[in-house]
Structure 1
C-alpha cells in the first residue's frame, strides 16, 4: 500500500503521523505494559511528549548535528528520545542495552556524543562508572524518573520535558520550525556494528537512506492503519528500527512493546498482532515448544499432528505452484486446519498475517513447517550499512531457503569471487571517522557486503555464507560453515554450534547443548547428575548427540560431515565476548578460547 503522505525525513514522517493523520484517529498509536496492565498512548500524547523533550534538549544546548546516544529497552520513551533528537536536526547513536561500560565508553567517545538517554538505574550506573573518561559527554537523561540520582549532569525525563514546556511558551513553533530545516541528505543516525572481528564501526545513515527503505517496504508489503505490530527486537538495531518502528509508523498502524523476550508468547496472545519482525531464534523456540508438546501427547494425537503437517505442506506446495487443488486435498486441509493448525495460530493471537524474519538465516525446513500450519514467515536480507534491507521475499512470491528478490530501487550483483554487491539510495554514507574502512567497503558506489551468494533461476537470492567464514580443508575442499551449522541447530538437543575445520583433514564441532532438553533426556533415562558440567561428560549424552548428528548429516557430502565433536558445559555469551550484541558468534575468539579442546579432538582421531 502507498504511504499515507510523502515525506523526505524521519521528523517529517513524525509530524505527518502524529499531527495530521492522528487528528482523525480515535485510538492509541503506542501501547506498553505498566503494572501488569496495557497502557494506551494517543497520537497527541506522543507528539507533545516528544516536542516537550526536544525543546528541553535545546535548553541543554543540543544543536543541529550534535550526537546524542540512547541506551534503553523498547518502550515509548525510546520513540520520544529518538524523534526529539532527530527533530532538532541532531544525530542519535543507539546502543544495545546489554552493552558493557567499556563498550559504552568506546562508543560515546568515538561518536563524540554530547548526551545520553538511559532507561533506568542499571544503565545509569554503567555510564556513571565511565563518565569521567567520556570527554564529550555533558548530560545524562534518565527515562525512569524515580531512578535519577543527585548529580548536576543527571536529569530525569520529566525535568527536561518541564524545561521544554517553559521554552515552548516563549517559542511556540520552535520544534516544527526545526523539523522544516532538516534535509534528506542530513545524517540521521550513527549505528555501531560490533562485527565478529575488529573494533566497532559507526555506520552513518542519512534520512534519505532510511526513508528509501521505508518507501520500498510499502511497495513490497501491504501495510495499513489497521495493522498492529508487536515490537520486541532491540530498537537500537536497524532491522527493528526501520521495519517494526518507522515502517509501522508510516502505515498509521499501532505499535505495542513486548515486556521481554521471555514474555513474547504471552504478549502475542494479549495484543493479537497482525505483523511482527523477528529473528530465526524465535521460530526455533516456537517449533521446539510445539514439538515438545506433541511428544507428550498420546500416539494417536501425534499421528494426527504429523498427518496434518504433511497435508499442510502438500496443500501449500500445490497452491504455490498454481496447480488445480484436488477437492480431496482441500477437504483434508480444512480438517487439518480445524484439528491442528487453528490451535497453533491461536498461540500467535489468531490474526497474524505474516512474520518478517531477518538478522540470521532461517532454515528451509522451519519456513516450510510454519507455512504448512498457516503461519507465513517472510525472510529478508540486509546489513546495517544498507539501512538495512537489500532483498526480501514477498507474501505472494516467496521461496524458503532464499532471502527473496532485490528490494525496489536496490541493485544487486554477484562479484567474480561470489560476493554480494548492492547499490541504491539505501547504501550508507560511510563509517564514522574511518575513511580507509569506508573505501574498502564501498567501491564506485557499490556496497561490498562480505556475504557470498547466488541468484537461482527465478531471481531469488541465496546466501551461502560470510566471505570471512569460508575455509578450506587440508584436502583442498572449500566449506561454507553457516548452512551446515544452521542444519544442526534444528535439533532440539542443540542450542549453539560452531564448525571447525580450517586447514584440517576433516570437520569437527563445538556444541552447546540445549540443557533443558538434555536434562529431560537424562531424567527419563535415569542418568544421575549434579550439574550441567557433570551432565555433558556422560557417555550416553555423547552418544545421543552423535546419533542426532548422524541423522542430520546424511545428505551432506563426505567432506562436509562432522567426524568429531566436543560438548561444552556453558553457552557462548555477549558478556564472555564470544557473541556480538546481535548474537553472532565471534569465531576467532571461540576457536582461541577452546584451542586445547579442539586440538584434543584432532589428536584423538589423527593419532
Structure 2
C-alpha cells in the first residue's frame, strides 16, 4: 500500500471544483430524466447549505442528523457539516419514531434534516423529548401546511437566512476550515442494534481518509488503477450505511468518480441498464433481482442467445 496522508472531505471538494469545475460530479434522475450536477455546482450547493446550517446555529462539534433517501442534498448536508466542523449523523428512512427518539437523544443532535412529510412527522413527534434538538429542516414541503411550529423550517428558507449571514460574514467557512485537524470527529454511524441499543461509531477525518485510500487507491480494494474519474457509480443503498458513504461520498470525492442517484429502489435494475456502472456495491437482494431479470430475458431469448447464456454460467 502506498503512503497515506490525511485529507478532509471539504478540502477535496474544493480541489475538484477548482481544477474541474465543469466536469460532471453527480447525476440525479427526476421524472425519468437525468440531470447533471458539475463539481462547481456541487461546491456552490454545499456552501449554500453550510451557511444555512450556520445561520441556524450549527458550529464545530454540533451534531446534524439527516433522515432521507439518497439524493444530492444528502451529500450537500454531509459536506456542509464538514465545512463547519460539525458531525453528520445519518438515519435510515425506515427508522420508526421510537428509534428516531433514541438516536436523536443519544447523538445529541442540534438539528435534523427530514426529507418529507413522513420524516417530519417522526421528528415532530419526538422534538419535545430531545433536549438538544432545536430545528427540523425539511426538503419537501408537500403535506406540511397544517404544521405551525417555529422550529420547523424549509431548506429554502434556511438557505435564505444563510445568504444573509454570508453577506455579513463571507470569510466564515475559510476561518472554520483553517482550524481543522486529523482528529476532528466527522460522522457518527450507528450500529444495527441487534444485540442491544444502537451505538454510534465515531469516525474522524483521519479514519475516513485512511479507509477511503485503502479501498480506492491504485493498489487498493478495486485493484490496479483503483477508482478513477472514468468510473461510474449508482447510489441506492442507504447513505446512513458506512459502505455506501465510503463509495458515494468519500470515494467519489477522492477519485472524482461520477455518482448517479437512482430514481427509487424500485427502478434500480432499470437505472443500472441506463447508466452502465463500472463500480456496483450491492447486497444479496439486489444481486437476486438482477439474476431474476436476466433469467426472464433469457427465457424469451433466441436459442442461440440461450445457448450462449448457459455456456457463460
Q: TM exceeds 0.5?
A: yes
1:98 corresponds in structure 2 to 94
Cα 1:146–1:285 change in 2 (3 A) is closer
Residues 159-308 of structure 1: pairs in structure 2 closer than 5 A? 159-217=157-215, 218=217, 219-220=219-220, 221=222, 222-295=226-299, 302-306=306-310, 308=311
Secondary structure of 1:92's partner? Answer: strand
1:21 is displaced (CA, Å) by 2.5
CA RMSD in angstroms comes to 2.3
Secondary structure of 2:66's partner? Answer: strand
Cα 1:244–1:59 change in 2 (3 A) is closer
Q: Distance in 2 between matches of 1:44 and 1:299?
A: 50
Q: Where does structure 1 lack aligned partners over 5 or more consecutive residues?
A: 310-368, 370-607
Give the aligned length: 305
Q: RCO higher in 1 or 2 (8 Å CA, sep ≥ 6)? A: 2
Q: Distance in 2 between matches of 1:172 and 1:298?
A: 64
1:565 corresponds in structure 2 to none
1:74 is displaced (CA, Å) by 0.5
1:151 corresponds in structure 2 to 149
Contact 2:66 2:113 in 1 (8 A): yes
1:109 is displaced (CA, Å) by 0.4
Contact 2:251 2:257 in 1 (8 A): no
Q: Where does structure 2 lack aligned partners over 5 or more consecutive residues?
A: none
2:13 corresponds in structure 1 to 14
1:228 is displaced (CA, Å) by 1.8
Secondary structure of 1:184's partner? Answer: coil
Residues 440-589 of structure 1: pairs in structure 2 closer than 5 A? none
Cα 1:295–1:112 change in 2 (3 A) is same
Secondary structure of 1:235's partner? Answer: coil
Q: Distance in 1 between matches of 2:5 and 2:135?
A: 35
Contact 2:117 2:141 in 1 (8 A): no
TM-score where L is the length of structure 1: 0.48
For residues 318-344 of structure 1, the C-alpha deviation after alignment (integer angstroms, 9 at most, x for no partner) is xxxxxxxxxxxxxxxxxxxxxxxxxxx
Contact 2:60 2:85 in 1 (8 A): yes
Secondary structure of 1:98's partner? Answer: coil
Q: Distance in 2 between matches of 1:81 and 1:298?
A: 49
Contact 2:230 2:257 in 1 (8 A): yes
Q: Distance in 1 between matches of 2:305 and 2:29?
A: 37
Max Rg structure:
1
Q: Distance in 2 between matches of 1:69 and 1:259?
A: 23
